[in-house]
Structure 1
């Protein structure tokens, strides 16, 4: 039952070329940066990634993108990453854009063994009607477009059928964990991490603090260990890596004192 791994490199060593990998985080918050770095060093390519976004230039999943390791992205947000946009528009990257709430539910459904579900989100748009460019050709024309999805009416309202998502591997970050894989997330760093962990057939968690089984109050556990297969304890230096996408500092109003 001890799921602790000696290192991040050991934890991701068996991720092969072409694997589907779900990755936690939102922007750069709650992103498993150490596992991403280890996967970069490991060398796997042609990865099919599912994540809310693809990090920023040189940060988060942007590390793998810059190294040409990602072939396909399923996500809900493209902004903050110029290289992501360049690769998509030039035909170097296949991108499936999904409404954010739908993406969250597709991950949860997949992890719960639910193959598909109906949602009103996207009805009457290209999300349901198809035609969203998934991949471009170098000349800018569309090489692969999203398919038409099934529509069904319930109580007079239309809903679109969306499929659950499961992946070969999942990478997540948590504040605390025990050797059985039970995880606790810190505030907004929780974001997509529990859903991503559920969707992975083999889920790897990097944790800032690793405790012995029984030390975590059952009522504070956000994700039970049944969804986690490997746990990696971060060093103090690794745990301190928490980049911010855009730091904004407002000038105080003229004449007002600034608290020290």
Structure 2
């Protein structure tokens, strides 16, 4: 189904630019790899990043369970990963990538550094969204006898849902760019196609097509995320 959708989307564009059937097949394969990388990394980032953000929020000085011994080291690790340029992060964790994926090249291998970078990125975005929840709502829940875990699960997260969706949207858009960079070191996807054919083989039509497809992906993700955020907003 995904292949059919991509074919229906990209075939008119390829015909307009003048790509051969062989290059169209390569484009479809690369677009599918990009979607798999972005989707897989985003899923891991959300699953790991939300608990991480809740822990950072709860252990902060104004949180439900202040704990500087946990909050400071955890925050430093998250900030360190966020501040490391992605291309450097990919190279730096090659041994870990080989341990997890069994290889350091290809779509599966690229998903590992993508997920690590996205987790640190989205954790801070989630934390910011969670901090915007009205303190009065939290205090009301505490007054009614809710536990700290109940407050986080049933009050803070639902109230912050529009901001959390917006954070996921920003992360997905960033991951599209990161996935293109992964192509520079054998990560596969649209970035790899653009470098191997558009740059190394001097085929500007391929490079132009890759750029347009990446723009379409970003626009679709941003539009969907904005729509969901508006639907979930209480305002």
Q: Per residue, is there more strand in 1 or in 2?
A: 1
Give the structure-2-normalised TM-score: 0.26
Higher relative contact order, chain-length normalized (CA < 8 Å, sep 6+): 2
Give the structure-1-normalised TM-score: 0.24
Q: Per residue, is there more helix in 1 or in 2?
A: 2
